[in-house]
Each structure stands twice: as structure tokens, then as C-alpha cells.
Homo-oligomer: A and B are copies of this chain.
């Protein structure tokens, strides 16, 4: 793992200033001469409410362009974010990105099953690509994305925002430094009650799967970054209790994994209920974990020695984008490369296979 872009002291300082409503004078003074131009590709809720506002807090990125299939959205975003006309694209005109020096990075935020298509177009146009999780809906498509960026000599990163989040990093530290001894068991789960069945997440053709791919991937990531290992075997059970709503994707799924060291992980993901947003790592001499573990803010947890884990919030999106920009500017690898996304998709494919066949599947 690379060192984080910001030290913990930087996080604290930036957050404290922002919380006080003060302009980030220090940060501005340190701003680079040129910010990388990002184009958001797919203007749904996540782009609208999470990513676009985050550019106000980035040091190395600016919202330079948009890629959308909706002329209405294009007009609204152009007005709100002062997007230049030559930086507004639809999915068909993406090849023209090659002629646009104002855009360095395409951030792919489309439905899952369209990630490869936009990533490959962007790479062929010479752009670096940051892509939301899950990376894609099959191992093959993930590999195509990696190959396209490799051929184009462009960086590919996956939007694993928690890999930059201080409370999660603190739990990784507790695991790596064996503060409570060797890990033995990880419990992790993430559930959200999705209400509107007309959204793309209920459509397998667009989503590639259900809550496992969408929110379970956070629990899977936690199992992997806490254990520091890759699973060797998975078993799984899935369920539907509301078939009228969940006829195309699973409603809830739980899975178990075994790691080479003998660590076992129990996971669950659901679109049927909230409040499942945690992980706990049990080690030889104690335990630690977060609850809530996966949200945009307010993450916190506890340790078996009574200490609380509650580091200040950061803007996870700004931090993730700034790290990606710095990796490009400094020509160094990202901690969240395409290969990392592919690994998760490979494991989740095995989880689905285990649930379907009722057999433990080797990964």
C-alpha cells in the first residue's frame, strides 16, 4: 500500500479549519499551479450530491467537464458549474475527448454494467480513468478495462473511498501492527433499504447483481484490507422475501470466506434493511471495529480495551480524487488500481456461484 496523500495531521488540520468555516488559506497557498481537469461521466445522484460538491475541497482537481446522455442535465450542470461548451460530451462523442487538453481524468459513475464501455472509450482518448465500484459486472470486463488503460499508458483507479478514510485506516493499522494479536474472525455487513424499484440498481442488465455488488463490496473490501490477505474459499446463501420487488436481483446475501492464515470472515449485504453498517475484527487478545463503518461521514467504532475509534471526518471524495490526481502528477501507482477492483469482482463472482450451487467455491 502506498503512503496516504495526507498525513493524519493534515486531515485533522483541514477538517478543523473547514469545520470552523474558515477559508483554507494554508491549503490554497500550497495549491499546485495546475489542477487536473476531471470529467464526470454519468450524472446520477452520486455525481450530483457527492462528487461535484467535493471539487470545492480538492487541491489537485477541478470539475472541468461532463459526459451525460441527457441534454437537460448537461444544461443544468453547465449553468451550475460553469462547464465550458467544449467540455460537454455524451457517450457517443467521448472519442473527441482526445482533442481536449482541458480534461485529464474521466471519472466513470455510470451504472455498473456500463463502466467498461466508458472506461475503454476514455482510455482510448488518452484520459486517465477513475471508476466507481464495483469495477464492472464480470472479470472479463474488468480485465478489458485494465488492458485498455495499460495500452493507453493511462492510470486506472477504482473509487474505494474508504481506503483513504481515517477511521478505516486506523483499523487497518490495528490489524497490521497486531495491536490485539493475530486476527481470527472478521464479521462485516452493509445493508440499505432501497425503496424505488424503478432505479437501475434493481435491473440486473445494468447493475450486474444486487446488494452484494453495490454495498457488499464494502464489507468484502474490509475483510481484505483488515486481513491483508486474499480469500481461498467462499460459501454463500442468498434470499428473497419480497419477490415482487426482488425478481431480477438478490434481496439479501450472506457469505463466508476463509483466508490462507485461517482467518474466517462472515459477511452480509442487503437491500432490505438499514442499520447493518459495521465490521468487527476478532483477534487473539481483543477485538476492534467500526459501526458505522461505510458511510460518507460520522464513522466511529470501539476497541475491546475500551478505547473509542472516532477520527474526524474528511471529505472522502475530495481526498480520493486528490490522491488519484497526485498519483498522475507524481507518476506513481494508486493504492486502488484496476487490479484491486478486478479482485473484488472475481471474489463476488465466486460468492454468487457459491450461493447458486450450494457449494464452497475456491477463489
Determine how close the nearest CB of chain B comes to the CB of A175; give it in whole angstroms. 14
The answer to whether A363 has its CB under 8 Å from any CB of chain B is no
- Interface of A, secondary structure class, is strand
The answer to whether A272 has its CB under 8 Å from any CB of chain B is yes
User: Which residues of A (344-358) have their CB < 8 Å from a CB of B?
Assistant: 354, 358
The answer to whether A329 has its CB under 8 Å from any CB of chain B is no
10 contacts between A and B (CB under 8 A): A184-B270, A185-B191, A189-B266, A235-B236, A239-B262, A252-B264, A254-B256, A270-B282, A359-B359, A359-B360
Determine how close the nearest CB of chain B comes to the CB of A265; give it in whole angstroms. 8
Contact of B191 with A282 in the complex, beta carbons under 8 Å: yes
Please give me the residue from chain B that is nearest to A185 by CB atom: B268
Partner of A276, one of B185, B189, B191, B354: B185
Known contacts A187-B268, A270-B185, A275-B282, A237 near B233 by CB under 8 Å? yes
The answer to whether A115 has its CB under 8 Å from any CB of chain B is no
Determine how close the nearest CB of chain B comes to the CB of A258; give it in whole angstroms. 5
Contact of A264 with B235 in the complex, beta carbons under 8 Å: no
Known contacts A273-B185, A276-B282, A241 near B261 by CB under 8 Å? yes
Contact of B187 with A189 in the complex, beta carbons under 8 Å: yes
Partner of A258, one of B182, B237, B267: B237
**The 6 residue pairs across chains A and B that have the minimum distance between CB atoms:** A358-B360, A241-B262, A275-B287, A235-B235, A239-B262, A266-B266
The answer to whether A240 has its CB under 8 Å from any CB of chain B is yes
Q: Residues of B contacting A253 with CB < 8 Å? A: 264
Known contacts A256-B254, A273-B284, A189 near B185 by CB under 8 Å? yes
The answer to whether A71 has its CB under 8 Å from any CB of chain B is no
Interface size of A by CB at 8 A reads 47
Q: Residues of B contacting A240 with CB < 8 Å? A: 262
A interface list, Cβ under 8 A from B: 182, 184-185, 187, 189, 191, 193, 233, 235-241, 251-258, 261-264, 266-268, 270, 272-276, 282-287, 304, 354, 358-360
Q: Residues of B contacting A284 with CB < 8 Å? A: 193, 272-273
Bound: A238/B184 CA distance, A:
11
Partner of A273, one of B191, B236, B266, B282: B282
Contact of A184 with B282 in the complex, beta carbons under 8 Å: no
Contact of A184 with B264 in the complex, beta carbons under 8 Å: no
Contact of A286 with B275 in the complex, beta carbons under 8 Å: yes
Bound: A283/B252 CA distance, A:
12
Contact of A237 with B287 in the complex, beta carbons under 8 Å: no
Bound: A214/B257 CA distance, A:
23
